[in-house]
Structure 1
Amino acid sequence: MKKKRYLMLFLFMIISIYAVADNYLKDKVADYLKSKEISYTNISMNLFLGNITLNTVFKEKDSLIFKVEKIEVKGVSYYQFIKNNAIRVASLKATNPKINGKVIKNDKPLKSFSKDSVVDLEIGAIYIDNLKIDVLKNNNFPFKVKSINFKVENFKLDSTLSKSIPFSYSNIESSITYLETQYSKFQKVKFSKLTFKERNLSIDSLEIVPLKNKKEYIRFVSEEKELLTLFSKKIIINDLKIEEKEKLSFSSKHILLDEVFFNLYLDATLLEHPNKRKDLYSKKLRDLPFNINVEKLNIVNSQLVYKEYTIKGNKAGVLIFDDLNAEIVNINNKTNKKTKLTTAKITSQFMKASPLEIIWTFDVANKNDNFRIRGGLFHITSKNMSSFLLPTMNVKMDGFIDKMFFDFEGNDSVSNGKLDVDFKNFNIKILDKEKDKKTVLSWLVNLFIKDSSKNGLVKVTVDNLERDKTRSFWNYFWKNIEKGLEKSLI
């Protein structure tokens, strides 16, 4: 009988101690949350299992509001906290969190953290379930996400603060449904879905959308700038790795861009061309603040349209590249890479009718930015040529170019090369603003065209063509073609 009483007394003491400890921990958690100005409607704890659950959590920071339907913390190690002042948690889950409000730019310098002030934190798994975001960025542009689901395994905070990514993990999985944000006064970007699993990333229906039409957008820029429209049906990045050893690095075995529609429109009638240097692609890659290594990138089933409005009263000149396919290998800016050259092979149908083939190579590590670009364009009609030259230069070409081969080598300053062109019944017409042929001037131009250039193959060289460093690589390439055509005609 006495044993039974002692047992009952012992159980009563255990229950009492548990209740006291439970209430003590609840008060400690409540005091901590209150000090951080975090409110909630209910808290429940399991002392033995180390579980804490908060319901309807609310936090307001500056002009941002954070709401979470439920936060569940499981497997808190009191032993590690008492003995090592370390936080060890089996899992952390946030269900239906929401972020609303406005991001306020903070001009105050960030506080510096000493090693001793950083929490020793490890979490076995972090789950974010159905996060919604609807905020204004500090430039008053909206940022919206319909749903984010997120999982991180074996999360560990870097207590040394020695890396730009101050944490490590063993695995990340994520899915984002419908993201939309505005990044300028006349452009926004959005996509319908993003998934990341087992180091593979895919994006569905990526779009860059104009918010202003072709007549309006020019009022929102201070210098000559293109209006961009882009749509990509699918982007897939395989074996994506973001690591930090000596330097932050991004790598992928293969990137696929499927069915990309790329449209550029330039109004060059009002604003001046910006007097800013444009680096070649080799220098842009070399100067990235991180290492990049993409073994292969493919663009398939795509289209590029470029329109330029140059002369008031004329239509915009049009260049169309249909059935555009490209394979680029060795996009790598490391200094110790095994393969030096980055190689791009491009095929397309120019103006829906003329096959175009390009092979382009350059060495990212070469500080002279040496490159070589060669290829051919075939079956070029006068209609295709005049679609751009007539509206932009009041120049019309009649005749036919059966084939044109080009091979140019250059660097950041100067280029040289050769152009072979096979003409048929070729002549030039220069028009005035009313589109009437300037008969005398056109006659003089054609008088100086070599007889062989009207019918037959012409081979010319382009020597010491200086680069306009405020223009793009593709403008540089076109100037080589233009110079070669000029020498073959006049």
Structure 2
Amino acid sequence: MKAKRKNNIIYLVLSLFAIAVSLNIYLSNYLESQLSKLLAKQEIKFTGDVSTNVLFGNIFVENIEARKDSLLVKAHRLEVKGVSYVSFLFNDVVKVSEISVFKPIISGVILDKEANNTSKNNSTNQLPIINIENIEIINGALSVKNNNGSPFKIDDFSLSLTNVRYKDRLISVIPFLYEDISFTLNKLEYQQSTTQMFALDKIIYSNNFLSIHNLEIIPLKVKEEYIYHVPYEKDLLSLCIKEISIPNFIIQTAPKLSFKATNTQINYADFEVFLDASVLNHPKHKKKDLYSKSLRELPIQINFDTIQIKNSKILYKEKLSSKDKAGELSFHNINAAIYNLSNTGNKETEIAVTSDFMNSTPFKVNWNFNVNNPLDEFFIKGNLATINAQKINSFIEPKLKVRVDGRINSLSFNLYGNNTYSQGDFAIDYENIKVKVLKNNKGVRKVLSWLVNLVLKNSSKSEMKEVKIQKLERDQSRSFWNFLWKNIEKGLKETMI
């Protein structure tokens, strides 16, 4: 009796196993057929094997290829684990434990927004609701171009997302939501124009900690030639930042893409700006917004509590004539703190900067503005300590054709401004200032120099000479820094002449 019962149990187990295997084979073939149809419907194809396992809910696809608009994605392997087939077959909802994509390569052309919207509106292929516990992209690469043919490359990237939820017509900057994200990027390059390229060595983002290494803006043309490759007078930029670290960096995608951080550290930024104004005209028709408006109109939301910039440098060069060398201004040992850099609230942005002007004398600036103020009002004040006037000759000789001797003991300004005008206070203490007016061949115009020094007040007589800067109209085709310089220039003229 016991032997018979034992045989019945073995028979039952074998029967159930045979039924399970048969059911697995049948459902696997059915699901592979349905999967192939679904992939074809979404313009996805594969040249390798497709294998499924109903018992464990696993799907493996080799050598998969997908096309979306003008972009092509090829992947070495796609693994989908823990699929709930019942939910997919009867409720049109895909529930998945894990999706892994190995060695995807993205190539093609990134269409502009209008083209992408047209493509989306014309598409009738809608995906079902999708819930995925974890998505991994491993050792991917990207090589695409925009409509202008400018390349964008990433040599290697990996990405992980948890609790991903996709639903058609989701109100978000991207068509899905997620709980957590981490990624690494290696060797990113983007050609912004014919004269500039953006590059970085590495980005790491994990557990809300973001670090960026060796971020650069690289000139693609030499200073002597770049101006012949741009449509109008334009700066040539060179930037190198060794490291940016943000320990509490939050990325949100709904209802709008936003970035939030409490403390951002920028270590050693070397920034050079070169302007060749000897060939092309300045574009008077091209309006330059103040920083508050530019931040206010960003397509993303930002909220940075504190940004600290340490041990940095700025060098500005301006060439006005093909016969003269470029004038130079420099700021070394820059340390700055930026508070409340945000376009989401109504807090005032505060910027405090200390530096060594011309690598010689302390220069301090405090600057306040409210990003969401529609008048773009700002307050800026600064103070320059003692400096020999000869230190600024490298800038004013090619710019103004004059050479200055003497000493500035102190210079300060306190200005209010907005998008249309500025006004404020200017003060300077100086002594033994003498001016030589130069000829084009670097000789001195003696008579003109004598006349200039005759009307020039060569000393403030050991006291701060103060003047009011009345309404100064802003040239809205010029930058904020040009606006600031015009105020200082006006203050110098009214105190010294």
TM range (shorter): over 0.9
Q: Is the 8 A contact 1:218 1:267 kept in 2?
A: yes
Q: State whether structure 2 residue 330 is matched by structure 1 residue 320.
A: yes
Partner residue, 1:345 = 352
Q: State whether structure 2 residue 457 is matched by structure 1 residue 447.
A: no
Q: State whether structure 2 residue 204 is matched by structure 1 residue 195.
A: yes
Aligned with residue 22 of structure 2, among 12, 16, 22? 16
Alignment of 1:57-456 (within 5 A): 57-59=64-66, 64-103=71-110, 107=115, 109-112=118-121, 117-243=126-252, 247-275=256-284, 276-335=286-345, 337=346, 340-450=347-457, 452-453=459-460
Residue 436 (structure 1) shift:
1.2
SS in 1 for 2:120: coil
Q: Is the 8 A contact 1:399 1:424 kept in 2?
A: yes
Residue 444 (structure 1) shift:
1.0
Residue 25 (structure 1) shift:
2.2
Residue 139 (structure 1) shift:
2.1
SS in 1 for 2:351: strand
Letter in 1 for 2:182: E
In 2, the alpha carbon distance for the partners of 1:281 and 1:153 equals 36
Letter in 2 for 1:314: D
| Structure 2: 5+ residue stretches without partners | none
Q: Is the 8 A contact 1:420 1:458 kept in 2?
A: yes
Q: Is the 8 A contact 1:96 1:132 kept in 2?
A: yes
| Structure 1: 5+ residue stretches without partners | none
In 1, the alpha carbon distance for the partners of 2:374 and 2:18 equals 80
In 2, the alpha carbon distance for the partners of 1:71 and 1:203 equals 29
In 2, the alpha carbon distance for the partners of 1:77 and 1:158 equals 17
In 2, the alpha carbon distance for the partners of 1:163 and 1:37 equals 24
In 2, the alpha carbon distance for the partners of 1:311 and 1:395 equals 15
From the superposition, tell whether residues 364 and 27 of structure 1 become closer, same or farther in structure 2 (CA, over 3 Å): closer
From the superposition, tell whether residues 181 and 386 of structure 1 become closer, same or farther in structure 2 (CA, over 3 Å): same
From the superposition, tell whether residues 120 and 438 of structure 1 become closer, same or farther in structure 2 (CA, over 3 Å): same
Q: Is the 8 A contact 2:172 2:255 kept in 1?
A: no
SS in 2 for 1:80: helix
Partner residue, 2:35 = 29
Identity of aligned residues (%): 37
SS in 1 for 2:491: helix
SS in 1 for 2:193: coil
From the superposition, tell whether residues 261 and 162 of structure 1 become closer, same or farther in structure 2 (CA, over 3 Å): same
From the superposition, tell whether residues 156 and 115 of structure 1 become closer, same or farther in structure 2 (CA, over 3 Å): farther
From the superposition, tell whether residues 134 and 455 of structure 1 become closer, same or farther in structure 2 (CA, over 3 Å): same
Q: Is the 8 A contact 2:44 2:64 kept in 1?
A: no
Q: Is the 8 A contact 1:358 1:374 kept in 2?
A: yes
SS in 2 for 1:253: strand
From the superposition, tell whether residues 390 and 101 of structure 1 become closer, same or farther in structure 2 (CA, over 3 Å): same
Residue 420 (structure 1) shift:
1.9
In 1, the alpha carbon distance for the partners of 2:69 and 2:385 equals 62
Letter in 2 for 1:435: K
Number of aligned pairs?
A: 487
Q: Is the 8 A contact 1:115 1:161 kept in 2?
A: no
Letter in 2 for 1:299: I
Letter in 1 for 2:143: D
1:340-360 superposed Cα distances (whole Å, 9 cap, x missing partner): 321110111111101100111
Letter in 1 for 2:74: K
In 2, the alpha carbon distance for the partners of 1:283 and 1:63 equals 34
Q: State whether structure 2 residue 80 is matched by structure 1 residue 54.
A: no
In 1, the alpha carbon distance for the partners of 2:28 and 2:325 equals 78
In 2, the alpha carbon distance for the partners of 1:38 and 1:255 equals 44
In 1, the alpha carbon distance for the partners of 2:481 and 2:225 equals 27
From the superposition, tell whether residues 485 and 177 of structure 1 become closer, same or farther in structure 2 (CA, over 3 Å): same
In 2, the alpha carbon distance for the partners of 1:49 and 1:264 equals 60
In 2, the alpha carbon distance for the partners of 1:243 and 1:38 equals 32
From the superposition, tell whether residues 216 and 366 of structure 1 become closer, same or farther in structure 2 (CA, over 3 Å): same
Relative to structure 2, which stretch is displaced further, 248-257 or 73-82? 248-257
1:303-342 superposed Cα distances (whole Å, 9 cap, x missing partner): 001000002311100011111111111112335x3xx321
1:102-131 superposed Cα distances (whole Å, 9 cap, x missing partner): 556784713338999452111100000100
In 1, the alpha carbon distance for the partners of 2:13 and 2:336 equals 80
In 2, the alpha carbon distance for the partners of 1:246 and 1:102 equals 27
In 1, the alpha carbon distance for the partners of 2:97 and 2:76 equals 20
1:411-459 superposed Cα distances (whole Å, 9 cap, x missing partner): 2222222222111211111111011111111111111123643765422
The TM-score, its normalising length taken from structure 2, stands at: 0.91
Residue 381 (structure 1) shift:
1.5
In 1, the alpha carbon distance for the partners of 2:18 and 2:272 equals 77
Residue 24 (structure 1) shift:
2.3
In 2, the alpha carbon distance for the partners of 1:367 and 1:68 equals 49
Letter in 1 for 2:305: E
1:255-277 superposed Cα distances (whole Å, 9 cap, x missing partner): 22211111111000111111122
Q: Is the 8 A contact 1:188 1:208 kept in 2?
A: yes
In 1, the alpha carbon distance for the partners of 2:340 and 2:11 equals 80
Aligned with residue 38 of structure 1, among 26, 41, 45? 45
Residue 465 (structure 1) shift:
1.6
In 2, the alpha carbon distance for the partners of 1:250 and 1:352 equals 35
In 1, the alpha carbon distance for the partners of 2:115 and 2:424 equals 53
From the superposition, tell whether residues 83 and 57 of structure 1 become closer, same or farther in structure 2 (CA, over 3 Å): closer
